[in-house]
Amino acid sequence: MKLTGQTWEFDTRPVLIGSAAVVGPDEGQGPLSPDFDYVYDNLEINEKTWEKAERRLLEQAAQLAVIKSGLDKEQIQFYVGGDLMNQIISSTFSARKLGVPYLGVFGACSTSMESLAISALMVDTGAAERVMAGTGSHNCTAEKQFRYPTEYGSQKPPTAQYTVTGAGCGVIAKGGQGQTGPRIARATIGRIMDLGVKDPFNMGAAMAPAAADTIAAHFRDTGLSPDYYDLIVTGDLASVGLPIAKELLEKEGYQMDETKFGDCGLMIYNREKQKAVLAGGSGCGCSAAVTYGHLVKRMLQRELHKVLVVATGSLHSPLSVQQGESIPCIAHAVALEMED
């Protein structure tokens, strides 16, 4: 592994040998529905509580990722995961069922790429040969913890985003013959960015500077340009944050092609038909489901060859918002590449 600035270059290029995405009914009504491994037709996910529903999504995504990797569960050496819940209980409880050594991480919605970057680092440095990364979220658990319970029926401004009900997991392994999955080429670890936004219903504006900062660092560290990638996607900036990130990057001298610069929160829903999602999707499950479902599938089909996923996270808590604190944010980027 080579370190340049904030970026890890992986010499062995670990491979994503299996991935899976499991989502709820709203996500199943969106344009990416065919690319998910399983779509539930009820928001309860056949469970008695929202928290158990979120856990079930993550457990099922993990199980399917292992199956698709061609391995047995016992061959997974470590599990790196996290989520939005207090004490990251969804990941912790799913790790209990998985029964492998576990590293719990928290980066809010950036956890999808944080866990993938750490997993790739472990494989590339020889600390492990096979590692699982995963995360998930549920609309009603996030509403209950961070805003108002869904049953309250509170009104939201158009800048608000809709937490994705879904989970995504991937199995990362050493590269070898016969493995055709996307290679993890590099990862850029973000810095905390806080420009003073205090509104928890405007997360796109809060997280956009972190996304732009990490993307600019990635280009500086690697010497690459935006044209190198077939697609660059942010995690969940949605309709408010993505234009801000684009403007900030242009001020840094990076021209972002709108046809190749997108956002998972805008991709996962049809905002014209699904009015309840407002500005677009968010949550740990947003970039996880889109990446481990839609993007990996397009890469395996050779529709995409080089993709940079930049997952963004808002690191506030209900308590910090109530005490008038501004919202610190972060973004982590992982580059996936398909080899000929």
Q: Which helix (H) or strand (E) holds 92?
A: helix 89-98
- Whether 176 has a pLDDT exceeding 80, the answer reads no
Find the mean pLDDT for residues 160-170. Answer: 96
Alpha carbon distance 48, 161 (integer Å): 25
Full domain range(s) for residue 72: 2-173
Specify if 178 maps to a domain: no
289 or 175: which leads in pLDDT: 289
Same domain, 150 and 275: no
Instruction: Identify the band that residue 150 occupies on the pLDDT scale cut at 50, 70 and 90.
Output: low
At residue 340, the pLDDT reads 73
| Domain co-membership, 253 together with 313 | yes
pLDDT-derived band at 177 (thresholds 50, 70, 90) equals low
Spatial CA neighbour of 46 closest among 147, 150, 170, 165: 165
Nearest of 191, 201, 209, 210 to residue 142 by alpha carbon: 201
Position 339 scores a pLDDT of 84
Task: Find the CATH number of the domain harbouring 318.
Answer: 3.40.47.40
Query: What is d(CA 113, CA 2) in angstroms, rounded to the nearest whole number?
Result: 19
The reported pLDDT for the residue numbered 146 is: 86
| Same-domain status, 156 and 189 | no
Collapse the DSSP code of 56 into the 3-class scheme (helix H, G, I; strand E, B; otherwise coil) and give the result: helix
Tell me the per-residue pLDDT of 98-125, one tens digit each, with 9 for 90 and over.
Answer: 899 999 999 999 999 999 999 999 999 9
Looking at the structure, tell me whether residues 124 and 262 fall in a common domain.
no
Q: Which of 134, 150, 173 is the last residue of a domain?
A: 173
Mean pLDDT over residues 280-289, rounded?
97
Tens digits of per-residue pLDDT, 32-79? 999 999 999 999 999 999 999 999 999 999 999 999 999 999 999 999
Residue with tokens 């990996």: 296
Nearest to 57 by CA among 97, 94, 88: 94
Written as six digits, the tokens of 334 are 């992982």
Task: Tell me: do 117 and 234 sit in the same domain.
Answer: no
Question: Is 124 inside any structural domain?
Answer: yes
Q: Which whole number is the average pLDDT over 163-187?
A: 91
Per-residue pLDDT, 179? 72
Do the domain assignments include residue 71? yes
What's the pLDDT at 175? 83
Please check whether residues 102 and 245 belong to one and the same domain: no
Residue 79 falls within a domain, yes or no? Answer: yes
In this structure, are 262 and 124 located in the same domain? no
Which pLDDT tens digit goes with each residue over 184-236? 999 999 999 999 999 989 999 999 999 999 999 999 999 999 999 999 999 99
Is residue 74 in a domain?
yes
Residues 52 and 9 in one domain: yes
Average pLDDT over residues 124-147: 94
Task: Kindly state whether residues 140 and 275 are assigned to the same domain.
Answer: no
- Does residue 252 fall inside a structural domain? yes
User: What percent of the chain has pLDDT above 90?
Assistant: 91
Number of alpha helices (DSSP H) and beta strands (DSSP E) in the chain: 11, 15
Residue of higher predicted confidence among 180 and 271? 271
3-state secondary structure of 258: coil
In this prediction, residue 82 carries a pLDDT of 97
Count up the domains in the chain and report the number: 2
Helix (H) or strand (E) holding 313: strand 306-314
pLDDT of the residue at 248: 98
Q: Does residue 194 share a domain with residue 168?
A: no
Mean pLDDT of 269-274: 96
**12 and 148 share one domain:** yes
Burial pattern 98-118, b for ≥16 Cβ within 10 A else e, equals bebebbbbbbbbbbbbbbbbb
Q: What is the pLDDT of residue 178?
A: 62
Instruction: Measure the CA–CA gap between 292 and 19, rounded to whole angstroms.
Output: 5
- What residue has token string 């008695």? 48
Contact predicate 173/129, CB 8 Å:
yes
Q: Which of 116, 139, 173 is the last residue of a domain?
A: 173
| HEC assignment per residue over 211-271 | HHHHHHHHHHHHCCCHHHCCEEEECCCHHHHHHHHHHHHHHCCCCCCCCCEEEHHHHCCCC
228 and 117 housed in the same domain: no
Domain end residue (candidates: 154, 173, 192):
173
